[in-house]
Structure formats: C-alpha cells, structure tokens
Amino acid sequence: MDKDITIYDIAKGVGFSPTTVSRALNNHPAVNQKTKQRIYEIATQMGYRSNMFASNLRRQRTHTIGVIVPILNSSFQSSVMAGMEKVATEAGYNLIISQSMGTAEKEVANAKTMFNSRVDGLLVSLAHDTENIDHFEPFFKKGIPVLFYDRVAEHKQSTSIVIDNVQAAYKATTHLIEQGCRNIVHISGNLKINVYANRLKGYKYALIDHNLPFRESLVITNNLTEEDGIKAAEQILKMKPRPDGVFVSNDFCAVNCMKALKQAGISIPHDIAVVGFNNDPITRVVEPSLTTIDYPGYEMGEVAVRSLINYLDALSDISITNTITLRSELIVRESSLRKLQK
C-alpha cells in the first residue's frame, strides 16, 4: 500500500520549497499562475490528496464513506441511500453523497473530490456512459476499498453488489409468454451497462427456451426517460405485426409507454401486456397496476455499507468476494394478466 504523498515529496519533484508548494496548493496569490499549474500537475501525478480532515488523519480514519450515484431523484436510488444511511449511522460513519448526473465526465470529477476528501471507502453506481474506471485507480493504489453496486464494473480489487439481472429478465419474459404473448418487445437502456446487457440476455434466453425467435427489430434501446417511453410506444404502434407483450427495463419508462399506448386506443393487457422493472411506487397507482421485478434497493444499500465497513475493520477481504448477488422477485399485477381478460 502506497504511503500518503506530502508537500515535501512534491517539493522534491518540482524543485520548489515546501512553503511554495503549500501556498500553490492553497491558491495563494503570492505564487504565480504558471508555477501553480506546474505544482498542481505534479501533485496530481503523484496522487496527492489535499488535507481536508487533518485532525482525523492522526487516527488514520475519517469515518466518512463516499457515495457516487448516477442520479438522486429516482425511487430506487433513494431506497438504496436509505439503507446505506441506516447502517452507516449505526456504525458511526458519515456519508458524502454526490451524483454524476449520469455522465462519465461528472463521475470523474466526483471521484477526484472523494479522493481529496480522504474518504475511508467508496460506493459507486456507474454513470450511463462510463466505459472505463481509470479514475478509480488512485483509490486502488492507496488500498482504499471501492464497492460497485447496481451498475458495476469488474476489477480484481473491488466487490460488486447486484441482483441476478439475467434471471430476473428471464422471469419477466417467461411470465409474458405464459400469458400467451408471442411477439414481445424489449425496451432497454444503454447495452454497455451491465444491468441492461444482462436483462437483454435474460429476455433472449426466455425466448429460446420457449422456441420463440429473437428479433433485433423488437429491441428498442434508449435512455428510459418519460419521453423515451412515449417514443417507444409510437414505435410499437407502427410495428407489423403489432406486438402483444412489452418488457421494459425500468418502471418509469414502462408506465409512460403504457399510458401512451392506452391513449392510442390499446387495451392493456388484452391487446398488449406490459412488465416493468424496479417495483417503484408508481407501479401500484397507475391503471392498470404494473407487473414488475422487485429490486431490493434498501437491502442493497445496507449490504453495501456493511460490506465496506467489514473490510475497513479487517473482518473481510474485498478482493476475495468479487460479487454479492441479492434475490429479486417478479410481482404480478394487472398490466400483464391477459388470461384473466379472456
């Protein structure tokens, strides 16, 4: 494990006095901009972290856990945060929560802020367009534990906390098939993200196991927003033959797709059966109520923080357990029950 980089180490690297280095890193007006820039660059390369919690450092623990989420205003992430907060508070830890707004660029900035804040560990659900995790390398090099949840990346020094998305999607698609659906659309998010790629796999496997053909034309990929749900409905209405089932990778998109289909005169589930994913509160109040996969967000938050603290307390080795898989269940409601409509 690398030792902490000090201003004295940086001073040796740039050829300036420790006083000048300290002033530059604190943006002191006595140091010119060119010198500041040079010192900033060297400090970054060396993995320097600004001393924001000096008093805690004497104890080698800040009792702070960083959390990076794609977006906070989702029912699932709110549930995860609640679970995290409960376990962290009971263990005497504070959470620093930031959102990437679903972009890799903001995620990189958030990671740097967390590193400089000297968090004891980091919990991350990756952004929509994150394709590599190089920005977490400073944590790995320092031996700072990083756990990914929901949207995860594989790394030998981290643990991922997920549900079995392949199995969950298989259950959802099989349910539609058992209801008599034979022409099923799958609406997915970015397939570079593990959760959506695995849900597509589960959808494919269910079709194969029931001797139904997989057709690329029945897979709609978008950002799963309200507008995307409406646009997906417009695409479905133009398909020939018209689909009789729709499996959507999140509830918010599913509900808006379903509403648009109903406005176009489609009977749900008689004409088209619909299944969502996450078990958001909206699934129980929409008409008809939405069949969905229950995604245990609260439990995921609890498990994430508990696993991280166990590692910090040397009760577990984060590099041994690469994946923790939680259970998920299909919750059947009116939106998919075609057999009851006949």
Mean pLDDT of 265-288: 96
21 pLDDT tier (thresholds 50, 70, 90): confident
- Residues 293, 330: contact at Cβ < 8 Å? yes
Beta bridge partners of 247: 186, 275
| 178 — pLDDT class (breaks 50, 70, 90) | very high
Q: What angle do CA 65, 153, 296 make, to 5 degrees?
A: 65
Q: Tell whether the model's pLDDT for residue 341 goes beyond 60.
A: no
**Tokens coding 128:** 């929509």
Please give the residue that has the higher pLDDT: either 126 or 74.
126
**Least confident interval from 44-53, 124-133, 248-257, 303-312:** 44-53
- Confidence band, pLDDT 50/70/90 cuts, at residue 123: very high
pLDDT score, position 192: 86
User: Strands, E, within 205-295: which ranges?
Assistant: 219-221, 245-248, 273-275, 292-294
| 155-159, 165-169, 281-285: range with highest mean pLDDT | 165-169
Of 113-127, 212-226, 317-331, least confident by mean pLDDT is: 317-331
How far apart are the C-alpha atoms of 311 and 303, rounded to whole Å? 12
Query: Does position 111 have pLDDT exceeding 60, yes or no?
Result: yes
Closest CA to 280 of 241, 246, 250, 320: 250
SS3 category, 158: strand
**For residue 24, what pLDDT is reported?**
83
- Measure Cα distances from 159 to 46, 145, 292 in Å: 26, 9, 27
CB 226 within 8 A of CB 198: no
| Per-residue pLDDT at 158 exceeds 90 | no
- Give the pLDDT band (50/70/90) at residue 317: low
Contact 288, 259 (CB under 8 A): no
pLDDT, tens only, 54-90: 434 434 678 899 999 998 888 889 999 999 999 999 9
Q: Which domains does the chain have, with CATH numbers?
A: 7-46 (no CATH), 62-163+297-326 (3.40.50.2300), 165-295+330-341 (3.40.50.2300)
pLDDT at position 26 is: 74
